[in-house]
Structure 1
Amino acid sequence: MDVMNIVKQINDVLWGPVMLFFLLGTGVLFTLKLRFIQVRKFKYVWKETFGGVFKKTAKADEDGISSFQALTTAIAAQVGTGNLAGVATALASGGPGAIFWMWVSGFLGMGTIFAEAVLAQTHTEKVDGELTGGPAYYIKKGLGNKYLAGFFAISIVLALGFMGNMVQSNSISDAVHTAFNIPNIVTGIVVAAIVGLIIIGGISRIASFTEKIVPVMAGLYIVGALVIVIANYNQILPAFQMIFHSAFNPMAATGGFLGSTVKASFRYGVARGLFSNEAGMGSTPHAHAIAKVKHPAQQGLVAIMGVIIDTGIVCTLTALVILTTGSFTTGFTGAQLTQEAFISGLGRFGSPFIAVCLFFFALSTIISWYYFGEANIKYIFGKKGITLYRILVLIFVIVGTTMQVDIVWELADTFNGLMVIPNLIALLGLVSLVVRTTNDYESKLEEGHFND
């Protein structure tokens, strides 16, 4: 029995046109129902995200974390290997037009992720004295379906906590080995040690870590990418012309592209965009659920900023680096294509630069995904299941650096798909609650309730 082939066939169905239609359709629904809140309230998206960054905020404790810490914990999960490998794969398989459709999915995904954050905020629970939340909680309390909630909880623990983190640690070890010739197992032990030191401190230490590391790692990558793009400034306009032209016009199979139809551009752009920003996936609501805010919609607006940073900035810069350096003609795909583009733009510093960025991208993702899994371990077993879960996560992190992860990638995709289904059912079933909560926020905003 060819297990790999069976899993691939399952994923072809799970992540086929039907899933993409429902993910994108959910974004369309919330964008319309909320009257393009990502545009109307952009001023408040910015204000809620950065307005209090430099103010003294309450420390993370059993009653939650700051709004900004919730955002950085979410971004730590969103900005990861997908921003490097996923964008390159979309370009190689769907042509430059895939980037346009990635932007479209990101724009619509802002409506979805707003709804996820609002629902997570309105359905939190104290588990053994600690505030927690996420889709399992709003599926159980909002939809009243504990079986669907349990199915989601099990799926996300397997998809992110275990298999997904194996993939992340493998990406780190491969990049470090390529750049610095350090044995994979050594990298795995070091990564596991760092992760262990952070997660043993619970959400307080996790939030403190992401609050500090996410702005630095994102800033480092953005500066490096901008240096390359600006150095190739004469190719910026042609790059955007390629993106918009090929989004609606088939491209011949020339250069580094496989030959991209409009259908392929749409499919790969939408898929990679949604996978990267995780809108509708049910992962980031775990962080937004426990943010200390006065109104659920405030955290919904902050969640929108996560998509802007992930898809609008980081993914776009990755695409521009690949296009302006001409690296798309090399025939490479995935992380190898992105690495080639940075080597072309930064010379011998390109490979170690990507290795360092990938290290922090994947490390922060491991820590956030660990926490998302922990929230669901609490849902299933309470706090008594956390110690064993932590040990297993660290083992999976080490093992992931020593193996070929093709089957692990496929299994992670399978359980990702399985956890999306109950989350989408809950989102569609609780549309009216999201709308009512948003209307309540807007009326209170007009009355000046949030002026401080």
Structure 2
Amino acid sequence: MQQINDFLTTLHNYIGGNYWFIFLLLGTGTFFTVYLRFPQIRYFRHAIKIVKGKYDKSTDKGDTSHFQALATALSGTVGTGNIAGVALAVHLGGPAAIFWMLLTAFLGMCTKFVEVTLSHKYRDFDEKGMVAGGPMYYMKKRLNISIKNGYRIKTGYWMGGFFAVATVLSSFGSGSLPQINSISNSVFATFGIKHVITGAIMAFFLALIIIGGIKRIAKVTERLVPFMAIFYFVGALAVILFNYQNIIPSFASIFLDLFTGTAATGGFLGAGFAFAFNQGVNRGLFSNESGQGSAPIAHAAAKAHEPVSEGMVAILEPFIDTIIICFLTGLVLLSSGVWKEKLPNQFQKTDIEVLTAHYSENKPSDVSRLENHLNQTARLPLFSGKLDIKDGQLQENVSIIHARSLASEVVVLESGQPFTGRIDVVNGKVTTTPYNVTFRGNSLIHSAPLTTAAFSKSFFGDFGKYIVSIGLLLFAFSTSIAWSYYGDRAVTYLFGANYVLIYRIVFVIAFFFASFTDTTIIWNVSLLTVAFMAIPNLFGLLVLHREVKSTIKDYWKGFRQEYPDEKTPEK
């Protein structure tokens, strides 16, 4: 299993984790932003009017309203990335990572507009009369290659199939299994409820919702998404106002070290420009899914007589998900100060790195060497061999790096008692440990635990951790709901509507078992499937760029004829 994980991680580093993929995503967003003359700005107010139903017609075909489609798509994007993902970005890249996250979202607003417009334009209806839409349908209809004598190579058909398979895998990989795993872990840590009980309860409610299809999903998400957004907003505001003296310095820190990286401060050992850029972009893309092609599946179900109108609705999605909610989380982390504080915690074995010498944070030269090591510009020697432990204390002259910080007051425990024995370490990594042996000490923390610590620095005090736990439950559960629909539309494309019920049953069963089993390999699979969805989708968008522009032109021409007194952003 470890070898499989290592292979998947290595493969991801060459595809989704590589700079060429990041530049493909950002480049597509930049191209369409310039080519279409900043539609995310010019069409923003018009998009709000569409969501309100101002231009709806009784003859519009579809399964959901504009608002329901937006809520369903948001339920898929507003998830663990808004709580854990932002914290991970700041932990790795410092405050500047938030800026790159926001820039990614701004460009993503345009990418969403384009991909939703095309997907809605070429949507189908399945055997049961339900909307079947998404990038696979515009690929099938518009990306086939014509050659002499009228013969056509069905490239678009196979691209759509590839995208659909990746969507099904991703519905489990990023949309379901890790989500319930995060929920059950959070509920157990906060309330002490066993993982299997949480899994059974959540699986029951998931089944009730998704068996009813998109209409029931839409009814749930249109109520759930606004509630969880307001709930989280109030909790975040309590932190920011409680630490009001840090609001301006926190806001300024996002921009001060934009192109230089963040220097060492507190327990944070510094991060260069590359780390801040990479993490901000990656977390932004993971959060709002722009270019991935998932949200267009939800938007394709909207009742609309013009595909461009639904594309405009999609502009609001990255704005709400990333520019508002993720930015809010970022201000919580920065204003509370916990992002650079070393806190007592139990170390994750995968986050531990053992160095062969002793280093001190009180020596500027050591701090500089540690910073270069963590930024991978000049690696330090790693320990290999047997690590001797006596009464919980390390006997070797080594340093422990945990969560990109120099750990202090490290103790090794076995079933809660000081451990005596030897532990194998290979190239700085702990490879084997006796049963129930854990490392504890003071270090930085990241992901959801970091956000939880930040929320306790508010008017609510320790009650803030419940806000994060409940928010994580709502966000992650709503993500699973939306991705179940994405998966069943992909199954419809591949096999037909008659196989959707089988998919939904498997989806719920897997959801339950993931609540109490390790989902590491599923996370690694999802990293690849996200890229496998995005690459053909972005290729298709770029190929059809002229059609997108002409479709938009036709929309405004028809709109001016129908609403001659209405002001429009187009001449």
Same fold judged by TM-score > 0.5?
yes
Counterpart CA distance in 2 for 1:100 and 1:59 is: 43
The range that moved more, 111-120 or 401-410, is 401-410
Q: 1:56 to 1:126 in 2, by over 3 A?
A: closer
* Equivalent residues in 2 for 1:409-424, closer than 5 Å: 409-424=523-538
Query: Of the candidates 293, 304, 308, which is equivalent to residue 315 of structure 2?
Result: 304
Query: Of the candidates 42, 45, 54, which is equivalent to residue 44 of structure 2?
Result: 42
Counterpart CA distance in 1 for 2:57 and 2:218 is: 13
Give the aligned partner of residue 322 of structure 1.
333
Aligned with 1:323: secondary structure?
helix
Give the aligned partner of residue 77 of structure 2.
78
Counterpart CA distance in 1 for 2:246 and 2:174 is: 39
Q: CA deviation at 1:155?
A: 0.7
Matched, 1:344 2:457: yes
Counterpart CA distance in 1 for 2:313 and 2:234 is: 23
Q: CA deviation at 1:138?
A: 1.0
Read off the aligned partner of 2:95 and give its amino acid letter: P
Query: Of the candidates 504, 522, 531, which is equivalent to residue 390 of structure 1?
Result: 504
Read off the aligned partner of 2:515 and give its amino acid letter: T
Deviations 1:77-105 (A, max 9, x none): 11000001110111011110011111111
Question: Residue 96 of structure 2 contacts residue 262 of structure 2 at CA under 8 Å; is this kept in 1?
Answer: no
Give the aligned partner of residue 475 of structure 2.
361
Aligned with 1:251: secondary structure?
coil
* Equivalent residues in 2 for 1:13-28, closer than 5 Å: 13-15=14-16, 16-28=18-30
Give the aligned partner of residue 201 of structure 1.
212
Q: CA deviation at 1:438?
A: 1.2
Question: Residue 64 of structure 1 contacts residue 292 of structure 1 at CA under 8 Å; is this kept in 2?
Answer: yes
Aligned with 2:516: secondary structure?
coil
Question: Residue 93 of structure 1 contacts residue 258 of structure 1 at CA under 8 Å; is this kept in 2?
Answer: no
Counterpart CA distance in 2 for 1:59 and 1:243 is: 48
Read off the aligned partner of 1:18 and give its amino acid letter: W
Identity score, percent: 41
Deviations 1:402-431 (A, max 9, x none): 112222211111111111111111111111
Question: Residue 95 of structure 2 contacts residue 262 of structure 2 at CA under 8 Å; is this kept in 1?
Answer: no
Give the aligned partner of residue 133 of structure 1.
133
Aligned with 1:436: secondary structure?
helix
Q: Report the RMSD for the aligned CA atoms in angstroms.
A: 1.9
Counterpart CA distance in 2 for 1:214 and 1:368 is: 11
Query: Of the candidates 237, 248, 259, which is equivalent to residue 248 of structure 2?
Result: 237
Q: CA deviation at 1:191?
A: 0.8
Q: CA deviation at 1:375?
A: 0.5
TM-score (norm 2): 0.76
Give the aligned partner of residue 143 of structure 1.
143
Give the aligned partner of residue 230 of structure 2.
219
Read off the aligned partner of 1:417 and give its amino acid letter: A
TM-score (norm 1): 0.95
Counterpart CA distance in 2 for 1:447 and 1:67 is: 22
Q: CA deviation at 1:261?
A: 1.1
Counterpart CA distance in 1 for 2:305 and 2:499 is: 31
Counterpart CA distance in 1 for 2:455 and 2:59 is: 39
Read off the aligned partner of 1:397 and give its amino acid letter: F
> Please, which runs of 5 or more residues in structure 1 have no aligned partner?
none
Counterpart CA distance in 2 for 1:225 and 1:304 is: 24
Aligned residues: 449
Question: Residue 173 of structure 2 contacts residue 525 of structure 2 at CA under 8 Å; is this kept in 1?
Answer: no
Q: 1:36 to 1:392 in 2, by over 3 A?
A: same
Deviations 1:45-101 (A, max 9, x none): 22222355xx999799x8321111000000001100000111011101111001111
Q: CA deviation at 1:451?
A: 7.2
Counterpart CA distance in 2 for 1:450 and 1:188 is: 55
Higher RCO (CA-CA < 8 Å; seq separation 6+): 1
> Please, which runs of 5 or more residues in structure 2 have no aligned partner?
145-155, 342-443, 567-571
Question: Residue 93 of structure 1 contacts residue 257 of structure 1 at CA under 8 Å; is this kept in 2?
Answer: no
Ranges of 4+ aligned residues in structure 1 off by more than 6 Å: 55-60
Counterpart CA distance in 2 for 1:200 and 1:115 is: 30
Question: Residue 91 of structure 1 contacts residue 257 of structure 1 at CA under 8 Å; is this kept in 2?
Answer: no
Question: Residue 62 of structure 2 contacts residue 304 of structure 2 at CA under 8 Å; is this kept in 1?
Answer: no
Structure with larger Rg: 2
Matched, 1:5 2:16: no
Q: CA deviation at 1:450?
A: 8.5
Counterpart CA distance in 2 for 1:163 and 1:44 is: 32
Counterpart CA distance in 2 for 1:439 and 1:225 is: 41
Higher share in helix: 1
Give the aligned partner of residue 192 of structure 1.
203
Higher share in strand: 2
Q: 1:281 to 1:450 in 2, by over 3 A?
A: farther
